[in-house]
Structure formats: C-alpha cells, structure tokens
Amino acid sequence: MGRAKLVTQILIADGNMLFRSGLRTLLSAENEFHVMDEACDAREAMAKMRVTAPDVLVMDLALLEVGGQQATFALRQAQPATAILLLTREDEPEHLHIAVGSGARGYMLKDSTPAQLIAAVREVASSLDDANPAGLSRLVPDLQALAESNQAYTRVPVLTAREQEVMKLLTEGRTVREVASELSLSIKTIEAHKLNLMRKLNIHNRASLIEYAIQTGVIAAAVTR
C-alpha cells in the first residue's frame, strides 16, 4: 500500500514583509504545503529552525550576504535535516558559492513565475526522500555539481560589492579617511569594511592587500578604466 502523502512544513525568511506575505499566500494555497512561520533576518530564521525543524526553508540569499561567512556556516548547522531553497535577485557566481556554503539544496531567481517557485519548493522537498536520489530539477540546479564545474571560483573568498570597492580604493593608495569621503560613509564604517575583507582574505597589512589586488586584477582593471 502506498505511503500517505505528508504535508511539507515551510519556514519563510525574507527582509521584505510584503514579499513574505505574498510568498506565504502563494505557498499556503497548495494543499501539500503548510507555512509554519516567518523570519525577517538570518538570525531569526536560524533560531526558528532550531525550534520548529521545518522540512523546507525558503530564504532570501541577501540575508546571508549581510551576515557573511559566519551566518552561512551557522545556517548549515542550525537544522541539517531542513532542505534550503535560496532566492536571489541576480544569478551571480558568488551566489552559488554562498548557496553551496550554506548547504542549500538549490537557489532560483526571485522574479521566477509563481508556478516555477511552487515547483521548486516541491522539488526541494522531494529531494529529502531517498526514493528520489536524482534530487532537483532544472528549476533548482544541483549546486554541488555546479560548484565542482567551477572549482577555481569556489576557492575565492566572497567579498561584497562594497568590500570590493573599499579594497580597490585602498590599494590605489587612498587612506581610510579619503575612502570614507569618496564613498560618503563614516570612517568607522570604512574601518569595519577593511577589517572584514582582510579577515576574509586572511590578509593583515596593506602590502599583502595590494599584492592580492594585483594577482586578481583589481588594480589593473581600475587603471584601464
């Protein structure tokens, strides 16, 4: 006799309340889904995952970008049995790196159609079933396979756009004060970005940062503009 069909328990995490509400309405209309809770940031999502143990977490990848690598690792550890589907506004290589690091089963664009999103959640949920070893459909890429096809990239630390901008200006010889003035940010904010990017790159002085920038083409790219 066939096994009874179980309802997939879902947790939604997104910083935009209207988007969360719309996504909840969309998924709740499917009899096989039950949206058990919502979260507005990565910390709240991880806390609720530990308590509610959802089958699927549908989360805005941008929440992990804000938290950095520590948030990515913490999400992977929060509830290993939960299948994670990350949503992103843009399909960028660095998003693949973040998705793999978080242990996500897949990711897809936020401007996908409602039908595609429902299908993606369904596929992510079905990937938990040993009877479906093939895992995810084309709607939700096999992240590990993508990562293995682009190993050179996945070894590169993920810097945010702002961190890359700060690094470019610092390696061109600007002081922290000058970078802050050029980007219309506080000196304290620039110091924080500088410390964070050096931590990610395991670099501890300006000379090494300049060397890294030369190796990766940051300085050359800036000169040729």
**C-alpha pair distances (Å), 79 with each of 11, 51, 83, 205:** 12, 9, 9, 37
Matching residue, tokens 């395991």:
202
Which option is the CATH number for 161-223: 2.40.160.20, 3.30.450.20, 3.40.50.2300, 1.10.10.10?
A: 1.10.10.10
pLDDT at 23: 92
Give the start-to-end residue ranges of the domains of the chain. 8-152, 161-223
Is the fold of 8-152 the same as that of 161-223?
no
CATH topology of domain 8-152: Rossmann fold (3.40.50)
Mean pLDDT, 10 residues at a time, over the chain (225 residues)?
A: 68 92 93 93 89 91 73 71 84 69 77 84 71 38 47 52 84 88 88 81 77 68 39
pLDDT at 219: 60
CA distance 73 to 205: 26
pTM above threshold 0.75? no
pLDDT at 147: 46
3-class SS at 149?
A: coil
Return the beta strands (E) in the chain as ranges.
8-13, 33-39, 56-60, 83-88, 106-109
